[in-house]
Amino acid sequence: MYLLKVNSICKYYSRTLLFKDVSFELAGGDALAVTGWNGSGKSTLMRIIAGLIRPSSGTVSMYYQDEVVPTDSRRRFVGMVAPALSLYDELTAIENMVFFCKVRGVESREDTCRDMLRLVGLDDHAHKLSGRYSSGMKQRLKLAQALLHHPPLLLLDEPGTNLDSKGMQIVWDIIEKQKQWGMTVIASNEKREVDYADRIINLSE
Amino acid sequence: MKRGRSITQTESSTYLNEALAIWVRDLRSEFRTRYAVNAIIMFAVTTLVAVSFSIGSFRIADDEKSFLYAVLLWIILVFSALSGLSRSFVKEQEAGTIDTLKLSARPQAVFLGKLFFNLTLLASLELIIVPVFVLLMRYPIAHPVPFVANVVIAGLGLGAGTTIVAAMIAQASTRGALFSALSFPLLLPLMIMAIKGCEQASVRLGPVGWAEVRMAFAYLVIMVIVSLFLFPLIWEE
């Protein structure tokens, strides 16, 4: 049903080459790991796939039932967790969830959001300001927010950051569920995280 | 069945619903942090008190009051607005929420939501400052309806102008200076119209300022339409 085509993308910052000729295709059920040294461009590649920044050359296309999804719409088919993506500290967890439901056009029933918080183990802290969360709890909240609209493409940039063993188990469960129908890209150097992928791209090579 | 659910639900969403969600979120955040309100109100109250104590109503000749009071009123309103309205986008950038918002909401909805929020702040500012200014300075207003219309419509134009400039400067490193520098030429025609409109509304004879209200309304419409086209380009990389 869904297809992601990344075709020969290169990224330069000023005149410095970050990576070049990165190509791959993902279909529903596929999981790809992106590895590489610090500064090799893993997070940049994730941001390019999400449509947040443009590649210097090459194309990223997403297809739904053989029709191309426009770039500005592609972002809304993406669920992304990354260290640089924050949620609103001055809102409670449930307020954050309801807000992102509304701006994404997902039915914003509070019990749906609460179910998602339960999935990541935060239902007991739903009415606490997210600014008062620990870094691990914030990471769990980011995971819940990324999954709210059941995205066909899940981009996980260092998904295990700040998570304890229970939190890591949640990440595995999420990836397993996503692999049943959707596409997953994991940017990490952690062996445990990379092992969940079917294919690996190393940006340092 | 959750597969593909996002597609149908995304299409059912409207720009207005998304904009309202952003507006409510910004209001809630502002209510809890008082990030922009404090800056705007403090600036407005300080300048208002300084003006009223140093000039007052008695040092100005009666025939000069209508013009000078209009100038002072709009200087206070515009510079108070400039001190706080840039925060709407800058705060998203500083908090690291701007990319999360980019991934979630459509650009036009973000612009409208931020515009509604800035207009709410400006309306609150005008509701406090204009009556206090009129009372403290004993501002003689001969035609209250066109005067209020001038303040409201020019206030809406001021909100629209500052919102698009705030979006443009959010990613720059020298935001403060850039915001004032970019806003000034954009807001100057509106300020001139608003000052003239308020002046005419306070004079007993001659035109009462409806022509300036119409021009300010045209400025507002043009600014909103141009911004809706321009904003997606600014919002992208």
ipTM over 0.95: no
- Tell me the count of A-B CB pairs closer than 8 A: 100
Strand partners, A26: A4
Residue B7: predicted pLDDT:
42
Residue B220: predicted pLDDT:
95
Cβ–Cβ under 8 Å, residues B122 and B159: yes
Residue B173: predicted pLDDT:
67
CATH number at residue A109: 3.40.50.300
pLDDT in tens, A70-98: 877 777 789 999 999 999 999 999 999 99
Q: What domain range is A142 assigned to?
A: 2-202
Which of the pair, A76 or A21, is modelled with greater confidence? A21
B237 at A interface, C-beta within 8 A? yes
Pairwise CA distance, residues A161 & A157, whole Å: 9
Residue B99: inside a domain, yes or no?
yes
How many structural domains compose chain A? 1
A3-25: average pLDDT? 92
Number of H-type helices and E-type strands within chain B: 10, 0
Q: Cα distance from A185 to chain B (closest Cα, Å)?
A: 16
Which of the pair, B57 or B23, is modelled with greater confidence? B23
Residues above pLDDT 70, as percent of chain B: 91
Residue B97: inside a domain, yes or no?
yes
B70-95: average pLDDT? 89
pLDDT in tens, B114-148: 999 999 999 999 999 999 999 988 888 888 999 99
Residue B39: inside a domain, yes or no?
yes
Pairwise CA distance, residues A46 & A44, whole Å: 5
Length of chain A as a residue count: 205
How many structural domains compose chain B? 1
Contacts of B104 in chain A (CB under 8 A): 75-76, 100, 103-104
Residue B6: inside a domain, yes or no?
no
Q: Cα distance from A181 to chain B (closest Cα, Å)?
A: 7
Residues near A199 by Cβ (< 8 Å), separated by ≥ 6? Answer: A24, A30, A31, A32, A33
Residue B8: inside a domain, yes or no?
no
Confidence label for B99 from pLDDT (cuts 50, 70 and 90): very high
Residue B3: inside a domain, yes or no?
no
Q: What domain range is B96 assigned to?
A: 14-235
